[in-house]
Amino acid sequence: MDSLSAIVYRSRAVGPFSDTDLFYLLAHARDNNARLGLSGIIVYDRGHFFQWLEGADESLGHVWNKIRVDERHVDVEVLVDQQIPTRLFEGWSMQFAHRDRQHESIVDGFVVAEPSMLDDLHLNAQKVPNILAAFSKLRQQVEPDPSGD
C-alpha cells in the first residue's frame, strides 16, 4: 500500500475567476482526482486559492507537478508537504468553499464556512493548514457522493 501524503498551498489567481471558470476548474480537478485516488478541498476567496490535496505519494506528485506550473495562478507557496496517517477528506475527490454562497445548493461538495474562517486564511500562512483541516469537519453539512466525485 502506498503511503499517504498531503500538500497544502496558497496562491494568487492571475486574474478574476468567474463562476464558470471556477466550476470548470472544480469539474476538471474532480475528474483527475477521482481517477488518481486523490481527495481534498479547494477554496477560492478574494483572488486567492487555498488547497489541501491528499493521496498516494505517486499520484499526489503527478498532480502537484501540474498544479505548480499552472499559468492561472502565481506566488504558489507550499505550506505543508508531508506524510499523513489518514485522509481528512475521505470520499471527496474535491470539496469546494467560496465566499459567494449563491451556488451552495447546486454545487455538490460545497462547504459552508463562516466568513471569519475565510478571512483568517489570508491573515497568517502558518494557520492555513489548520483552517483547511477544520473545513473537513464542516462537511457534515453536505453528503458525499457515493462515487467519490
- Per residue in 29-43, pLDDT (tens digit) is 999 999 999 999 999
Report d(CA 126, CA 52) in Å as an integer. 14
Question: Is 50 in a helix, a strand, or coil?
Answer: strand
* Mean pLDDT of the region 100-106: 66
Q: Can you name the residues that pair with 73 across neighbouring β-strands?
A: 13
Grid cell in block for residue 125: 500562512
Given pLDDT bands bounded at 50, 70 and 90, which one contains residue 113? Answer: confident
In the predicted model, is pLDDT for residue 127 greater than 90? yes
* Mean pLDDT of the region 109-118: 82
Worst-scoring range by mean pLDDT, 16-20, 43-47, 55-59, 128-132? 16-20
Give the global pTM: 0.87
Query: To the nearest whole number, what is the mean pLDDT of the chain?
Result: 87
Instruction: Let me know: does 53 contact 93? Beta carbons within 8 Å.
Output: no
Q: DSSP code of 142? A: S
Say whether domain 4-141 belongs to CATH 3.30.70.100: yes
pLDDT of amino acid 7: 97
Residue ranges of the domains in the chain?
Answer: 4-141
